[in-house]
Structure 1
Amino acid sequence: MSDPILRLSGITKAYNAGKPREVQVLQGIDLSLDAGEVVALVAPSGAGKSTLLHIAGLLDTPDGGTVQITGEDMTGQSDRRRTRMRRADVGFIYQFHHLLPEFSALENIVLPQLANGVGRGEADARARDLLDKVGISARADHRPAALSGGEQQRVAFCRALANAPKLLLADEPTGNLDPATSDQVFGALLDLVRATGLSALIATHNLELAGRMDRQIRLEAGRLVPL
């Protein structure tokens, strides 16, 4: 049996650690994601879901516990090694698209590939294929300001998958959209995830969207519980 794509073991995290006003955010988090599994992380604002995602994606370090990605223990690894792992195997999507405004939709997806050593022709072809998968290939040459909110977020999805990661982490990826657009865009994200076969941990407060995933967990009082 292969290792999980993501394994969190005993993750703890506190802010103002050791001080009188210490806030314990995560208290012994254990979580595994298998290859191709899409898991919903449900939590109210301020519960620590962004902190958990940042730790899972090596953007933050826990106070205790271990983080394994594709079977490799990243605990205590150098910043350089963590950066290489993020660049190769982890994709991020946030509530706001954070696209580079001076570049087209296509270029926003090409650039992270070029930074990862991919040739321009190959990067361009992959970017066009991803845009086609989310139904906006006709908007490839438009800059973000000329795109609708839903289109901007679809481009952000494609950018997160540009380097063919094994793990996708998404923090309220449709939370900035109206309900109708959110439903359509989330469907595009799920289709893209399924088509590429990667594992995904998607934070959402929308129980209807959460129900469309393989499994649902809730972050409650610093611990994960089944939903």
Structure 2
Amino acid sequence: MSEVVLALQGVEKTYNRGKPNAVQVLQGVDLTVARGEVVALVAPSGAGKSTLLHIAGLLDTPDAGSVRIGGAEMVGLSDRRRTAVRRADVGFIYQFHHLLPEFSALENIVLPQLANGVPRDEARSCAYDLLTRVGIAARADHRPAALSGGEQQRVAFCRALANAPRLLLADEPTGNLDPATSDQVFGTLMELVRGTGLSALIATHNLDLAARMDRVLRLDKGHLAEGL
């Protein structure tokens, strides 16, 4: 039986609790992602997919339920411990790249490694290797403003993988790109994920991209179901 890297059980989340305008976004959500599995998360706008990803990635806490990463319970941990787990075990990719504009592509990948205690030379070597794998090593010294949208997102992918997380969470990672670039960049992401044996939960509106993943989960009205 495959190792379960991420497990959510009975997760609930309500905004404005106790108020007339309370909105229950997640209602008893159960979810598992196995080691090496790539799972698509599809949902209408406003259905709560970002909330679900933030809870899975320890950026938010559920009102009820269990969140386990690598078999360890995350609910109830101190902020310091949650931050440590997030830094070591979870990589994030967003629709917008959020690269630091004053630093080069290479430096944007080096910085999170330095924050994790990796020696600078080792961090630079890892960053260059990742840029090589996504085909833009020649752009290593360019700042984000000098890169195309697809190149910027490739750098963001490398940054998310720099600390060798066990779990990758992506929120519309190609949603800000034109269709042709989106398809190319998503292919790059899948090659990276497959090549590293990562587990990934990827939110997307693109059903064609979702169909290229191992499994599809649909979030609607606070409930999660298999398939489109």
Q: Which category of TM-score, normalised to the shorter sequence, fits these structures?
A: over 0.9
- Segments of 5+ residues of structure 2 without an aligned counterpart are none
The equivalences for 1:1-227 within 5 A come to 1=1, 3-227=3-227
Q: What is the one-letter code of the residue matched to 1:21?
A: N
Q: Deviations over 1:32-87 (max 9, x none)?
A: 11000000000111000000000000000000001000111011000000000000
TM-score, structure 1 normalization = 0.99
Report the 3-state secondary structure (helix = DSSP H, G, I; strand = E; otherwise coil) of the residue aligned with 2:190. helix
Separation in 2, partners of 1:2, 1:120 = 35
Q: What's the C-alpha RMSD, in Å, of the aligned pairs?
A: 0.7
- Segments of 5+ residues of structure 1 without an aligned counterpart are none
Report the 3-state secondary structure (helix = DSSP H, G, I; strand = E; otherwise coil) of the residue aligned with 1:5. strand
Q: 4+ residue runs of structure 1 moved beyond 3 angstroms?
A: none
Report the Cα offset of residue 2 of structure 1: 5.9
Q: What is the one-letter code of the residue matched to 2:128?
A: R
Q: Deviations over 1:5-45 (max 9, x none)?
A: 00000000000011111100000000011000000000111
Report the Cα offset of residue 164 of structure 1: 0.2
Separation in 2, partners of 1:135, 1:221 = 40
TM-score, structure 2 normalization = 0.98
Q: Deviations over 1:121-175 (max 9, x none)?
A: 1101110111111111110000000000000000000000010000000000000
Matched-pair identity in %: 78
Report the 3-state secondary structure (helix = DSSP H, G, I; strand = E; otherwise coil) of the residue aligned with 1:192. helix
Separation in 1, partners of 2:36, 2:157 = 17
